[in-house]
Amino acid sequence: MEVIGIDRLLDFDHFLCEEIKAHKVMSVEDEKRQRIIIAAMQEFIKGYRNASTDTIVKSAGISKGLLFHYFGTKKELFFFLFQYAIEIIGGEYKAAHFESRDFIDNIWQLSLLARRLINKHPLVYGLLASAFFSFQEVFPGELHNFQNPVEELKQKLLERADRSLIRDDLDPEKALRIILWTVDGYSAELTRLGRQVADYEPHYDRIEKELGDYLTLLRNALYK
Amino acid sequence: MEVIGIDRLLDFDHFLCEEIKAHKVMSVEDEKRQRIIIAAMQEFIKGYRNASTDTIVKSAGISKGLLFHYFGTKKELFFFLFQYAIEIIGGEYKAAHFESRDFIDNIWQLSLLARRLINKHPLVYGLLASAFFSFQEVFPGELHNFQNPVEELKQKLLERADRSLIRDDLDPEKALRIILWTVDGYSAELTRLGRQVADYEPHYDRIEKELGDYLTLLRNALYK
Amino acid sequence: MEVIGIDRLLDFDHFLCEEIKAHKVMSVEDEKRQRIIIAAMQEFIKGYRNASTDTIVKSAGISKGLLFHYFGTKKELFFFLFQYAIEIIGGEYKAAHFESRDFIDNIWQLSLLARRLINKHPLVYGLLASAFFSFQEVFPGELHNFQNPVEELKQKLLERADRSLIRDDLDPEKALRIILWTVDGYSAELTRLGRQVADYEPHYDRIEKELGDYLTLLRNALYK
Amino acid sequence: MEVIGIDRLLDFDHFLCEEIKAHKVMSVEDEKRQRIIIAAMQEFIKGYRNASTDTIVKSAGISKGLLFHYFGTKKELFFFLFQYAIEIIGGEYKAAHFESRDFIDNIWQLSLLARRLINKHPLVYGLLASAFFSFQEVFPGELHNFQNPVEELKQKLLERADRSLIRDDLDPEKALRIILWTVDGYSAELTRLGRQVADYEPHYDRIEKELGDYLTLLRNALYK
DNA sequence: GATGAATGAGGGTTCATTCAT
DNA sequence: AATGAATGAACCCTCATTCAT
């Protein structure tokens, strides 16, 4: 799987919904549009308040006026990027098939996929994570318009999970949640680590193996 | 256990380290110092960027100049408050004794304690939580100067945990982590809920029972 | 008398002076030229500063570039419209014949005519009125380039008025001025009213009668 | 009567209502406050939209921040100045006594007074006139909060006028209106003149005499 | 210590005008 | 002729920080 860093963003336009596709900026010539979106995402990763439209236009190499010609307001730009990120990442997740009904299997596949997507779309994925925080801080009450695709998928997997696999003496709902939280906790740990260790790519194999071990443990402990 | 809302903050000065105690503002007359700290904490709970020094001075009833006389910059004020909160809350945690070496017992006690401390020091605890987020956003890379007392204690409990209680066929390190993440995941869920349900105090009992159930499940699944 | 609202503007091109006729925009195909002029007038009625060239081009269905291709600057566009309105309205006034030399008769006829022209050319007349204000505000000192056709006609009627109709004990120049100012004052009152009462068309008859009463009073008081 | 040009504004603070007196800016040291108010008035005479806060602060010799420290928004500044002008000019008018019930006498006195006040407070009077126009354009619907002191006084004089002085064969209401409009028309003419002839002070005597002649004529024509 | 008036760089936004196509 | 993307100076406003008193 390729890494989509700061270029080739537009190879994923097919994931976008009509609303985003119809946006003024989407009719801009590819290279420039990409420059704008990337510059804006990079800036907004700092958080909404920390992001400066001045920096964005400088980094995108366009004029102040043009940015506002496309987006009207800073807020609209942010919302656009957020929706855009949701759809790119959501599209990737939707493209994946989770045939099994074994929750541990699925959650393991999901983890592998998540890690691949973080590598494939570091910028977009980064914005997605950061934007949910910004939203809470700056636009509380407007978050409901946006659906976190990862959480959505987790929820779906949870619902579809085969409860009969769980030991009879354990509450299956709780057992499943524990599996989920274990993965979440492990990921959070990685994120914390990732912030300090700039490049933890070399550790990937070990990390993946370790998560596998956690899931194996849970399977031994919670499954029949 | 008493509730320490917006007064009586100074009853906990004995928790403070020398560095904080030596701070310029600590020599201010008690009542005024408390007003300043409380006002500042209330404001910073909104997040660093959303906090206005103007609001702080108005709400503390002091002049703009005085605030900067004591703290030099907004950042220094924020760092002071953060350290202050860490030491108050850290002091409380340190005052508690965790005699057992059963990790589940300890983590349960820790949860009970956490909930009591949130009630006792709503302001200080609130700032603590919010400040870790602000830090990440506004001063990335300076967080290492601050030790989250809750995490510290968890770490200690983890280290001291009696591994022999864990089923022999399970990796005890991983099992303990799973217990930890389950509690974390449960708490995060509550926080998410708490943001929506303004006042979830009436649900405390149910919540506590539910967490207990999770831990019981884990005991059944992971312990000998 | 027909109402010339937002179409048929060009039926009055014969009123236009050579300068206007020679203007770049006048060689544009009729229908489009009309769209441009009407859109621009509608917008400038709001006042020069409140008028947006963006709105004009959207409402005229032309491109931004084309507008500036024809008019160079917003100011030139405004001047063009102003002159255009002066000539249309001025043409109408000039087409009227004031045979009498009785000033009161003439001023009464003038009032009737004014009201008919306001109905016939609501847009052009509206712009004319609004533009004189805008000028004062935005281009003070350039107003002398434009002659208000109504004032011009009043002046002419004033000059031609038969002084011998005025009572011998009164200064005829002053008496005539008083007649003029009475009509002006009455009209101003109506305008003030008109701003509040959105549609005072139903009151026309009463209004006309009342003005007649004022003029009768003046005739009784000032004439032999 | 002295001329209050661009200094000595504050000699008239006693005319101000409590609301204005309580305004933040009124506690500024006299000389600076005057500089601010004068600079702002001079700028706003151009009209609200044409006025730039940048120009005001430069001309007042203060920083951008300070202006907004006092007034919050451009609009609030404008409203303040408007109210201020109304109260200064209104105060002057209220200080005058109109004992007679002869409308012509009163309106003559009023004209003399108006002319003196225009000379005494050229800036404040100028703003007052200009502000009523700006209001209509920019804040339609908020004008009702402000009472034009001149119109108010005219209305009062009109109401109190002794109708029995008017010729029995004339409608006294209309006759009085004609007197009013004559003065208004004459003043408007002067204003138009004044705009062109920068300094029409040398003509004052002639002007005053001429208005007197108009009123004498009206007395001859309309009174018993 | 204590005040709060004063600063000014930076923020987001608007809009007449230009210019490559 | 015709387009509309692109410009950038100017706009109003904010706010942490300073400093004379």
For residues D191 and D71, the model is more confident at D71
Q: What is the pLDDT of residue A155?
A: 94
Q: Are the Cβ atoms of B217 and A167 closer than 8 angstroms?
A: no
- Spell out the residues 6+ positions from residue B36 whose beta carbon is closer than 8 angstroms to its own: B25, B28, B56, B60, B62, B67, B70
Residue type, A145: N
Instruction: Please check whether residue B183 is in contact with residue B111, taking contact to mean a CB–CB distance below 8 angstroms.
Output: yes
* Chain C hits for D218, Cβ within 8 Å: 178
Which residues in 63-92 of chain D line strand F, with CB less than 7 A from it? 64-65, 68-69, 72-75
Q: What is the pLDDT of residue C49?
A: 93
Least confident of A39-43, A195-199, A210-214, B35-39: A195-199
For residues B152 and D11, the model is more confident at B152
SS3 content of chain A, % helix, strand, coil (to 5): 75, 0, 25
Q: Are the Cβ atoms of C217 and D170 closer than 8 angstroms?
A: yes
C–D CB contacts, 8 A cutoff, strictly below: 85
CA pair distance B46, B43, nearest whole angstrom: 6
Q: What is the pLDDT of residue C62?
A: 96
* Chain D hits for C220, Cβ within 8 Å: 169-170
Tokens for C3, please give them.
């109402």
Please, which positions of strand E sit below 7 A from a protein CB? 1-20
Pick from A137, A116, A182: which is nearest to A46 by CA? A137
Which residue of B45, B48, B50, B137 to mutate against A (max A Cβ within 10 Å)? Answer: B137
Pick from A214, A84, A94: which is nearest to A146 by CA? A84
A–B CB contacts, 8 A cutoff, strictly below: 84
Residue matched to tokens 């008919």: C116
Pick from B177, B180, B206, B179: which is nearest to B193 by CA? B206
Each residue's pLDDT tens digit, A167-189 = 999 999 999 999 999 999 998 88
Percentage of residues of chain B with pLDDT beyond 70 = 93
For the residues of C74-142, what is the DSSP string, one character each? HHHHHHHHHHHHHHHHHHHHHHS------HHHHHHHHHHHHHHHHHHSHHHHHHHHHHHHHHHHHSTT-
Each residue's pLDDT tens digit, C147-162 = 899 999 999 999 999 9
Instruction: Please check whether residue C78 is in contact with residue C44, taking contact to mean a CB–CB distance below 8 angstroms.
Output: yes
Answering whether pTM is above 0.95, one says: no
Which residue of D173, D181, D186, D213 to mutate against C (max C Cβ within 10 Å)? Answer: D181
- Spell out the residues 6+ positions from residue A22 whose beta carbon is closer than 8 angstroms to its own: none
Average per-residue pLDDT for chain D: 89
- Residue A223: phi and psi, rounded to 5, are -85, 160
Tokens for B125, please give them.
């605890």
Structural domains of chain A in order of their starting residue, each with its CATH number = 6-222 (1.10.357.10)
Q: Is B167 on the interface with A (CB under 8 A)?
A: yes
pLDDT higher than threshold 70 for residue C70: yes
- Considering only CB atoms, B47 lies closest to which of A137, A177, A184, namely A137
Q: What is the pLDDT of residue A12?
A: 77
Instruction: State whether residue B51 is helix, strand or coil.
Output: coil
* Chain C hits for D171, Cβ within 8 Å: 213, 217
Most confident region among A153-162, D142-151, D202-211 by mean pLDDT: A153-162
Q: Quickly state the pLDDT bin for D194 (edges 50, 70, 90).
A: low
Average per-residue pLDDT for chain A: 89
Mean pLDDT of C70-85: 96
Q: What is the pLDDT of residue C179?
A: 97
Most confident region among C43-52, C200-209, D128-137, D199-208 by mean pLDDT: C43-52
Most confident region among A202-216, D18-32, D83-97 by mean pLDDT: D83-97
pLDDT higher than threshold 90 for residue C40: yes
Instruction: Please check whether residue A188 is in contact with residue A138, taking contact to mean a CB–CB distance below 8 angstroms.
Output: no
- Residue C72: phi and psi, rounded to 5, are 75, -60
CA pair distance C178, C112, nearest whole angstrom: 19
Instruction: State whether residue A166 is helix, strand or coil.
Output: strand
Q: What is the pLDDT of residue D211?
A: 92
In chain C the beta strands, taken as DSSP E runs, fall at: none
Tokens for A70, please give them.
């496309």
CA distances from D117 to C50, D1, D126 (A): 33, 9, 11
CA pair distance A85, A195, nearest whole angstrom: 21
Pick from D12, D4, D69: which is nearest to D77 by CA? D69
Q: Is the CB of C191 under 7 A from strand E?
A: no
Tokens for D202, please give them.
């040398």
β partners of residue D119: none
Most confident region among B140-154, C84-98, C194-208, D195-209 by mean pLDDT: C84-98
Q: What is the pLDDT of residue D1?
A: 47
CA pair distance B213, A173, nearest whole angstrom: 11
Q: What is the pLDDT of residue D192?
A: 78
Residue type, A45: I
β partners of residue C76: none
Find the angle CA(D120)-CA(D123)-CA(D129) to the nearest 5 degrees: 105
- Spell out the residues 6+ positions from residue B20 whose beta carbon is closer than 8 angstroms to its own: B26, B80, B83, B84, B87
Most confident region among B133-137, C40-44, C146-150, D196-200 by mean pLDDT: C40-44
CA distances from C82 to B173, C41, D18 (A): 86, 9, 46
Q: Is the CB of D140 under 7 A from strand E?
A: no
Q: How far is C215 from chain D (nearest CA, A)?
A: 10
Percentage of residues of chain C with pLDDT beyond 90 = 65
Q: Quickly state the pLDDT bin for D19 (edges 50, 70, 90).
A: confident
pLDDT higher than threshold 90 for residue B167: yes
Instruction: State whether residue D166 is helix, strand or coil.
Output: strand
Q: How far is the CA of C62 from the C1' of F2 (A)?
A: 9
Average per-residue pLDDT for chain C: 89
Q: Are the Cβ atoms of A214 and B178 closer than 8 angstroms?
A: yes
Q: Is the CB of C69 under 7 A from strand F?
A: yes
- Spell out the residues 6+ positions from residue A158 whose beta carbon is closer than 8 angstroms to its own: A103, A176, A177, A180
Please, which positions of strand F sit below 7 A from a protein CB? 1-20
Pick from C220, C221, C193, C222: which is nearest to C207 by CA? C193
Q: What is the pLDDT of residue D216?
A: 96
pLDDT higher than threshold 50 for residue A35: yes
Q: What is the pLDDT of residue D45?
A: 94
Which residue of B158, B169, B181 to mutate against A (max A Cβ within 10 Å)? Answer: B181
Q: How far is D221 from chain C (nearest CA, A)?
A: 5
pLDDT higher than threshold 80 for residue C55: yes
Pick from B217, B221, B92: which is nearest to B152 by CA? B92
Mean pLDDT of C125-153: 89
Q: Are the Cβ atoms of C184 and D180 closer than 8 angstroms?
A: no
Classify the C-alpha dihedral C176-C177-C178-C180 as positive or negative: positive
* Chain A hits for B140, Cβ within 8 Å: 195
CA C175 remoteness from chain centre: 25
Instruction: Please check whether residue C35 is in contact with residue C60, taking contact to mean a CB–CB distance below 8 angstroms.
Output: yes
CA pair distance A91, D215, nearest whole angstrom: 85
- Spell out the residues 6+ positions from residue C216 whose beta carbon is closer than 8 angstroms to its own: none
CA pair distance D76, C114, nearest whole angstrom: 40
Q: Are the Cβ atoms of D50 and C47 closer than 8 angstroms?
A: no
Q: Are the Cβ atoms of D174 and C214 closer than 8 angstroms?
A: yes
Mean pLDDT of B183-212: 77
Each residue's pLDDT tens digit, A61-76 = 999 999 999 999 999 9
Which residues, numbered 30 to 59 in chain C, qualify as contacts with chain D under a Cβ-Cβ cut-off of 8 Å?
46-47, 49-50
Q: How far is C191 from chain D (nearest CA, A)?
A: 13
Q: What is the largest CA-CA distance in chain C?
A: 65
CA pair distance C116, C121, nearest whole angstrom: 9
Instruction: State whether residue B102 is helix, strand or coil.
Output: coil
Q: Is A168 on the interface with B (CB under 8 A)?
A: no
Average per-residue pLDDT for chain B: 89
Tokens for C82, please give them.
């102003």
Classify the C-alpha dihedral A171-A173-A175-A177 as positive or negative: negative
Residue type, C191: T
Q: Is the CB of A52 under 7 A from strand E?
A: yes
Percentage of residues of chain B with pLDDT beyond 90 = 67
| Cβ neighbour number for residue D135 with a 10 Å cutoff | 20
Q: What is the largest CA-CA distance in chain A?
A: 65
Q: Find the distance separating the first CA and the last CA of chain D, reported in whole Å.
A: 36
Pick from A208, A17, A13, A55: which is nearest to A118 by CA? A208
Q: What is the pLDDT of residue D199?
A: 56
Instruction: Please check whether residue B222 is in contact with residue B179, taking contact to mean a CB–CB distance below 8 angstroms.
Output: yes
- Considering only CB atoms, D221 lies closest to which of C144, C181, C222, namely C222
Pick from B138, B224, B127: which is nearest to B175 by CA? B224
Least confident of A191-205, C7-21, C129-143: A191-205
Mean pLDDT of B102-120: 92
Q: What is the pLDDT of residue B10?
A: 74
- Considering only CB atoms, B185 lies closest to which of A175, A185, A213, namely A185
pLDDT higher than threshold 70 for residue D101: yes
CA pair distance A216, A153, nearest whole angstrom: 22
For residues B16 and B203, the model is more confident at B16
| Cβ neighbour number for residue B166 with a 10 Å cutoff | 21
